[in-house]
Structure 1
Amino acid sequence: MKAHYFKIDQFEVPFRVQVDELPYFYNKYHYHPQNQLTYIEKGTGTYLIGNKIGRFAEGDMFVLGSHLPHVFMSDDKYFTDQQLGVRSVNVFFTPDFFSDKILFIEELSAFKDFISLTKAGLQFNSFSKKEILSDLPQKEGFSRIVCFLEIIESLIASKNKALAIDVLYKMEEPNPKMEKLYLFTFENFKSKISLSEVADLAGYSENAFCKFFKKNTGQTYVNFLNEVRISHALSLLQDPLKSITDVAYESGFQNMSNFNRQFFKKTNINPKTYQLKLHSL
């Protein structure tokens, strides 16, 4: 998927708050020099952060480092029924939010360590301080800064966080071949895709392509493709009436045994059990 450079207008204050209330989230793989904090207030879908694919849901928080390419792709239902709508609270702030001299103060050393971790992206499931985030857009001046620091403090103290990507994937400039491969995969994963097809697309032999993709992403193309398909399957399983067979084939799998195997590998549970648990909550 093409990583677009996303220009964020310069701002004089230490950070900028942006509330997005739209039919669906901005759906282009992009990056920018500012750090980004995104709270998903309404909406579900699949994220691609660097080389990592996963699901996001209401209540999730993401903190992304400078130049880390990402996209939050809304589920299909948001494109077919735009009355559903999505909402997120976003904070953009520069990596040098605090000066180096201030960061040497012992009380602020945790902030410096936290910013270092965000280079690879952090995900917080079911962020507990959502009321602070709800207040942030209405705050002004010094009160807004205090509110922002309270959010950062709660994230630093949170035990419920995970590294969003497996290998550091920072983009100063787009990689045209990887962009083309991502775009092709997300547009065609529901159909059969052969290794020779994507190798030709990138201009490599199959063997050379496998080395190229592994070097750039830390994983094989087949594994990446399976993750895209399983992420789509997870969204389809939100429908309690959807059959497992339909979910498998609509996600691009050609046989049930491979679908079940890949689903278990990703979630450590079989599809039917996942669907039943999801709708028994």
Structure 2
Amino acid sequence: MGIAQNQIIHEITPLSDKDCFYIAERYKTQFTYPIHSHSEFELNFTENAAGVRRIVGDSVEVIGDYDLVLITGKDLEHVWEQHNCCSKEIREITIQFSSDLFFKDFINKNQFDSIREMLEKAKKGLAFPMPAILKVYGMLDTLASEKQGFYAVIKFLTILYELSLYVDQASTLSSSSFAKVGIHSDSRRVQKVQEYINSHYKEEIRLNILADMVGMTSVSFSRFFKLRTGKNLSDYIIDIRLGFAIRLLVDSTMSIAEICYECGFNNLSNFNRIFKKKKACSPKAFRENYRKKKKIV
């Protein structure tokens, strides 16, 4: 497998070991920082930035006037780029914090259940809906100017808690396979099938084999799987394969045809059609656009 020569910039954040979080509030006319990753968790808010293109993993979206995203995936690449934004009054608030902020026994307390669930889901990136943004806007607005460190931490924890109440309404950004995040289900049968798909996505996967694995009929299993995951089995398998395919588009020099067959798609034209439907561009265009944002370090 050919490996791409360009690498995502790995950012060394200003977060000190002695601080709970680092916050930067900026007023600017354009986004210039290249695509990057870092080990720290990040909550990023943008205001007056309609037309900016936000990339998180293999998610590419043009945002509106307000955008609030939480990323907890270690080294999940992301960038906000100018694209079609013409605003001269962009405001950005970036909060970076370590996973150590919630030491193990603390985060496992019942009172933190919703925050723990949110941090887990945010490994793929979470974009919050407008009601959530409005709920925390006042606290975000004043957090950078809070002079008392203790109260700043309490305010930040409150922001995280309020956002955690909107997790079910938040949009998951990157695919699991691209973000290299394991998929967890509260159903052992679903988990068993998911693990099988992750290990055999390159091969033909038959419904009856999956159903037999969990002792169900094909019809019953299809209904059960959709109820537990929110996706049809075929759509789920396609999303897993696409995530791996996009990772190869970004990180390798394999041809698109090679990637197509490597990731379980047995027809190149079908792969191109599905990719364009899901990502609004061809695999070739995605690769070219993504690589323009990489820099050698």
Identify the residue that residue 60 of structure 1 maps to in structure 2: 67
Whether 2:213 is the aligned partner of 1:162: answer no
| SS at structure 2 position matched to 1:119 | helix
Deviations 1:260-281 (A, max 9, x none): xxxxxxxxxxxxxxxxxxxxxx
Letter in 1 for 2:137: K
Whether 1:114 and 2:118 are equivalent positions in the alignment is: yes
Partner of residue 152, structure 1: 160
Structure 1 alignment gaps of length 5 or more = 172-176, 184-200, 231-251, 253-281
- Asked whether the equivalents of residues 38 and 75 of structure 2 are also in contact (C-alpha less than 8 Å), the reply is yes
Deviation at 1:228, TM superposition (A): 6.5
Query: In 2 relative to 1, CA 226–3 (structure 1 residues): closer, same or farther, beyond 3 Å?
Result: farther
Distance 1:145 1:114, change over 3 A: same
What does 1:1-281 correspond to in 2, within 5 Å? 2-11=7-16, 12-44=18-50, 45-65=52-72, 66-78=74-86, 84-126=88-130, 127-128=133-134, 129-140=136-147, 141-158=149-166, 159-170=168-179, 202-204=253-255, 206-211=256-261, 220=271
Supply the distance in 1 between the matched residues of 2:142 and 2:275 (Cα, whole angstroms): 38
How many angstroms apart in 2 are the aligned matches of 1:115 and 1:222?
34
- Using the TM superposition, name which of 145-154 and 22-31 deviates more: 22-31
SS in 2 for 1:60: strand
Distance 1:123 1:102, change over 3 A: same
1:10–1:227 CA distance, 2 compared to 1 (3 A): same
Q: 1:229 to 1:152 in 2, by over 3 A?
A: same
RMSD: 3.3
Unaligned runs of 5+ in 2: 1-5, 181-244, 286-297
Q: Are 1:35 and 1:92, in contact at CA under 8 Å, matched by a contact in 2?
A: yes
Measured in 2, the distance between the counterparts of 1:8 and 1:165 equals: 22
Normalised by the size of structure 2, how large is the TM-score?
Answer: 0.58
Would the aligned equivalents of 1:119 and 1:168 in 2 still touch at CA under 8 Å? no
Q: What SS class does the counterpart of residue 144 from structure 1 fall into? A: helix
CA 1:203–1:104 in structure 2 vs 1: closer, same or farther (change >3 Å)?
closer
* Inter-partner Cα distance in structure 2 for 1:89 and 1:74: 16
Matches of 1:220 and 1:25 in 2, distance apart?
A: 33
